[in-house]
Amino acid sequence: MNKIITTVLTFICFSWMLNAQINFTAKDQVPDYNGKFHFGVNPGFHGGAWGDEDLADIAAGSSSLGLGGAGVEAFRATLPEFFLEQWGYEVEVDDFQHYQSVGMTDHVTFIGYPTDEHRDTTFYCPNHQSELFSNMYLDIWDGGANGTPVNDDNHYALYVYRMVTLYQDYVKFWEIWNEPDFDHSGNGFKGPGQDGNWFENIPEPCDMSIRAPVFEYIRMLRISYEVIKTIDPDAYVAVGGLGFPSFLDLIMRHSDNPNGGQVTDEYPHKGGAYFDVLSYHSYPHIDGSLRDWNNDIGDFDYFRHSDAATDGIIQKQSEFSAVLDAYGYNDQTYPSKVWIITESNIPAIAFGEDMGSDEAQRNFTIKTRVACEKNDIVQYDLFQLARKKSPESSFSGFDAMGLFHRLSNIEPSQEQITDQGIAAQTMTSLLADGTYDAAATEDLNLPTNVGGAAYENNDGSYTFVLWARTETDRSEVATANYSIPASMNIVNLEKRTWNFSQTGSLTNVSPTGISLTGAPIFLRSTSETVNVSEQSSLSQTLDLFPNPSQDNFHLSIEGTTPADLKVEVINVIGELIEQHSFIYTGARTVYDFDCTDWAKGAYLVKVRSDEGVEVLKVVVE
């Protein structure tokens, strides 16, 4: 493998040297993102028993291992220089190939983090050495003087060149550093006019996690952009998981000039020229999204529920967008940026004043995915794949986030999926062949108390994701009644709930008078049209799916009203269960259908056999 990779690198290197380096910036062009929306996750590290391939198997699912996965379509990975220098630059190639084999694509990878040997030795503040690379202000290019097109003495440029050459086929978004604006001063969140704010002041190096002047971060962006785009013009360069619009403003109003960020012939562009993608982080439970100050009571009004949390994510996008607009990156003066979120979640357990519940977390996961697509965010990377601690040992909301329960104390095959993981698996599976349809969403004419969107499926049908918007602090209880407009010509709908990936249960509902709660449901339109009058004799067909008896059951049932018909069908189903060795695990009231819907089509009921969950489909002819 190493010989093959070395040969490929050598070939690519000499081929690359024949090409001129780029003559454009993000002020000139940003590649159109033509891929589908991706639901991603931060995989994290979970102990020696769990390799990256094991994490990919449980995240995305593996047919060969019989794993259903948790709906993950991409990883937010990392390839730090200190790791690649220690283990070899090719160390993660096999893992990325495995990610591809289980269906994951368009990964985000955050980069940086030098070896001790390549770390800047400058102490810009008394007690903290710079976290960034040394020699970044040497020339980026040397025309192949050392066997590579980049200047090998510019440690960051060489690292980026070697890494991107190897991983360009797997990584779509190169994220430069992780949270470079992590604020140690308390000034990052402040608005213009407030003391020390970053919109009008330049932060001290010690104020930021990079422990270096902001101009050096812009220098990283410039090196990244020039090197990555020369290797792969279609790749995307992203700012690294920003938390504060004020830091974005710093990037947009300064160049990489170490002398105050001024534009000169040597430093011709401000930072906006050196990235395609605005990547941001949002944790609504801690960023102020879920409260407003109330002068009348001298305290905060709280709204700690899933819809407010999702709204907080989009509000933060609006704040970043306002900065980009101010500098012309809105397809007016310069091209617009692409949007991704690379960390976000809310807890499953409430700590202190924070929100938190399994129900809120799973609702938030689905609602946020819908909100992302409605607001042109092309990837949403959840934090995190698995919870770091058990519920009883958790002491922070971040301990109670994940698609799986704690992995570090168990072996592969012992993993347990959380409610959030079940919801994510359902969400991805039901929307996998769908594309968000803005026009159809507008046609839904959703009232203010209903959230949702329309997705057009590959077969021309639609999937509608709908819910009643939550409004009560620390409650997911909400109700609404909604009808799909007649103009959309929807006749029948198959309803699935958040846990469909586990239950396999669906029901048929009318497009009118849909009862909604705070938990999103998935409604798929079908082409079946059923017309039944309320007569004394109706013909029924029972189909068993899957059908171990290989029979379909044709029944003639007498009933003078839909209610009588319902009771008789329930009785017959019970007899069939007994005749065909099914283990009936519920009271008969499990078949308590809404009588008004009997003329609408097919109805499903779930029973359990020795071979797993089976579904009885009752079709009214």
DSSP 8-state code for residue 81: H
Ordered strands of the 602-609 beta sheet: 552-558, 537-545, 612-620, 602-609
Closest to 103 measured CA to CA, from 144, 58, 60, 160: 60
Looking at residue 370, what is its pLDDT?
98
Please give the DSSP secondary-structure letter assigned to residue 396.
S
- Percentages helix, strand, coil for the chain (3-state, rounded to 5) are 30, 25, 45
3-state secondary structure of 105: coil
Would you say 374 and 438 are in contact if contact means Cβ atoms under 8 Å apart?
yes
Q: Are strands 171-176 and 236-239 parallel, antiparallel or unpaired?
A: parallel
CATH number of 435-526: 2.60.40
Res 605: pLDDT: 42
C-beta of residue 517 within 8 angstroms of C-beta of residue 468: yes
Sign of the dihedral defined by the CA atoms of residues 599, 600, 602, 607, in that order = negative
Kind and range of the H or E element at 543?
Answer: strand 537-545
* Domain spans of the chain, in order of start: 2-37+116-372+389-399, 435-526, 537-620
Non-local (6+) Cβ contacts of 263 within 8 A are: 255, 257, 269, 270
List CB contacts of 93: < 8 A, sequence separation 6 or more: 1, 5, 166, 167
Per-10-residue mean pLDDT of the chain, 621 residues long, equals 44 45 95 96 94 98 95 98 98 98 98 98 95 98 92 98 98 98 96 97 96 98 98 96 98 98 98 98 96 94 97 98 98 97 97 95 98 98 96 94 96 97 98 95 97 95 97 97 95 95 94 97 73 33 40 42 50 49 33 36 40 42 39
Q: Which of 286, 417, 428 is nearest to 358 (CA)?
A: 417
Phi, psi of 455 (to 5 degrees): -125, 130
Q: How many CB atoms within 10 Å of residue 98? A: 18
Task: Check: CB of residue 545 under 8 Å from CB of residue 491.
Answer: no
Residues for the chain: how many in total? 621
**Of 615, 619, 618, 621, nearest to 547 (Cα)?**
615
Q: For residue 566, give Cα distances in angstroms to 531, 590, 592, 601.
A: 17, 12, 8, 13
Which helix (H) or strand (E) is 431 found in, with range?
A: helix 419-431
pLDDT reported for residue 571: 53
- Asked if 116 and 85 touch (Cβ cutoff 8 Å), the reply is no
Q: Which two tokens stand for residue 337?
A: 């940026």
Q: Where are the alpha helices (DSSP H) in 412-525?
A: 419-431, 438-443, 500-503
281-286-287 Cα angle (round to 5): 60
**The pLDDT of residue 610:** 40
Nearest to 358 by CA among 192, 468, 519: 519
